[in-house]
């Protein structure tokens, strides 16, 4: 009996170990990052490097800048916000969602025109997007940062109303927009220039520059949220992605540093 009871006690102890919360499961994240979808390559590499350097775990969610902004507004937890344009950190600051002294400018975000290889629509300038019969894809102005800036660029050049008849699709992310010309579903789209350097189907597209006079070049920022439960680590990550080491990663993926 005693031997049987002893075995039962050992079995219960083993079972208890396996049912300890977190035991046998993945380690919970030390930080949560919300990032613009068009930044997935550099941000992903930076997260991996920081995890290795600090021995921590970071979870990342990539989406349109409007989407990740809305997620924070809806109360979803996040330590670091890296949207595709400063507008989102400015609005987040006004709403009390990020700490003002942690907002940093990282790199430039330059819009450009992407067309299918061979340029079948014969697009050579921004105004060509309004030509009869040209099929155009744009980012949703209420979604990704590229959608908002595309509308501003076209309005600046008095083309917004003129191209409406040519818009066949509005993409939810910049990554999706690159696919349309690559598959020859449209004659042109406006995307971030850096994305064209690493897109999966980059050999299937060509780039048509928007003149500096017509263009609106944005800045990618980063900021620590006010709700972050690990402020010290969040600040360290914020510093890391804007450090000399971090900037090498951004430049590797086609981003141009902000002027100091």
What pLDDT is attached to residue 19? Answer: 36
Query: What CATH number is associated with residue 88?
Result: 3.40.190.10
- Residue 19: inside a domain: no
What pLDDT is attached to residue 139? Answer: 95
> Higher-confidence residue: 130 or 197?
130
What pLDDT is attached to residue 258? Answer: 84
| DSSP code for 229 | S
Together in a domain, 182 and 197: yes
pLDDT-derived band at 199 (thresholds 50, 70, 90) equals confident
Q: Are 129 and 112 in contact (CB under 8 A)?
A: no
Side by side, the strands of the sheet bearing 256-257 are 58-63, 31-36, 80-82, 218-224, 104-109, 256-257
What pLDDT is attached to residue 259? Answer: 65
Together in a domain, 104 and 173: no
Together in a domain, 78 and 161: no
Together in a domain, 137 and 183: yes
CA distance 38 to 175: 6
Host domain of residue 167? 111-208
151-161 pLDDT, tens digit each:
999 999 999 99
What pLDDT is attached to residue 89? Answer: 96
Together in a domain, 177 and 126: yes
CA distance 106 to 123: 31
- Position of tokens 């309004």? 130
Together in a domain, 126 and 251: no
What pLDDT is attached to residue 26? Answer: 61
Listed range (24-38, 162-176, 205-219) with the worst mean pLDDT: 24-38
Together in a domain, 116 and 202: yes
pLDDT-derived band at 150 (thresholds 50, 70, 90) equals very high
Q: Which of these three, 208, 227, 249, is where a domain ends?
A: 208
Together in a domain, 235 and 192: no
Number of domains in the chain: 2
Residues 6+ apart with CB under 8 A from 246: 46, 240
CA distance 181 to 26: 40
- Residue 23: inside a domain: no
- Residue 11: inside a domain: no
Q: What are phi and psi of 222, to 5 degrees?
A: -140, 150
Q: At residue 4, does pLDDT exceed 80?
A: no
**How high is the mean pLDDT of the chain?**
89
Nearest to 29 by CA among 63, 71, 79: 79
7-49 pLDDT, tens digit each:
444 444 433 333 333 333 466 899 999 999 889 999 999 999 9
Q: To the nearest 10°, the Cα dihedral for 69, 217, 104, 73? A: -10
What pLDDT is attached to residue 60? Answer: 97
Give the tokens for residue 34: 């919300």
CA distance 217 to 131: 24
Nearest to 60 by CA among 27, 36, 25, 92: 36
46-74 pLDDT, tens digit each:
999 999 999 999 999 999 888 999 999 99
Q: What is the mean pLDDT of residues 97-126?
A: 96
CA distance 260 to 142: 31
Residues linked to residue 116 through DSSP beta bridges, in sequence order: 205
Cα–Cα–Cα angle for 109, 114, 116, rounded to 5 degrees: 160
């Amino acid at each position: 009996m005693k031997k049987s009871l002893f075995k039962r006690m050992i079995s219960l102890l083993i079972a208890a170990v396996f049912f300890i919360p977190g035991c046998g499961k993945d380690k919970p994240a030390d930080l949560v990052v919300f990032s613009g979808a068009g930044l997935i390559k550099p941000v992903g590499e930076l997260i991996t490097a920081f995890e290795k350097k600090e021995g921590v775990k970071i979870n990342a969610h990539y989406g349109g800048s409007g989407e990740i902004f809305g997620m924070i507004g809806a109360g979803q937890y996040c330590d670091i916000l890296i949207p595709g344009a400063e507008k989102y950190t400015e609005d987040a600051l006004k709403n009390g969602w990020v700490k003002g002294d942690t907002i940093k400018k990282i790199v430039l975000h330059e819009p450009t025109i992407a067309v299918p290889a061979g340029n079948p629509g014969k697009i050579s300038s921004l105004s060509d997007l309004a030509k009869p019969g040209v099929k155009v894809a744009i980012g949703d102005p209420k979604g990704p940062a590229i959608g908002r800036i595309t509308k501003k660029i076209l309005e600046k050049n008095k083309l917004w109303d003129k191209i409406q008849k040519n818009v066949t699709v509005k993409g939810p992310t910049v990554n999706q927009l690159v696919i349309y010309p690559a598959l020859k579903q449209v004659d042109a789209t406006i995307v971030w220039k850096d994305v064209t350097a690493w897109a999966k189907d980059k050999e299937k597209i060509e780039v048509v520059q928007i003149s500096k006079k017509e263009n609106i070049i944005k800045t990618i920022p980063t900021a620590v949220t006010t709700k972050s439960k690990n402020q010290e680590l969040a600040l360290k990550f914020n510093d890391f992605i804007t450090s000399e080491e971090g900037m090498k990663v951004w430049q590797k993926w086609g981003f141009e540093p902000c002027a100091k």
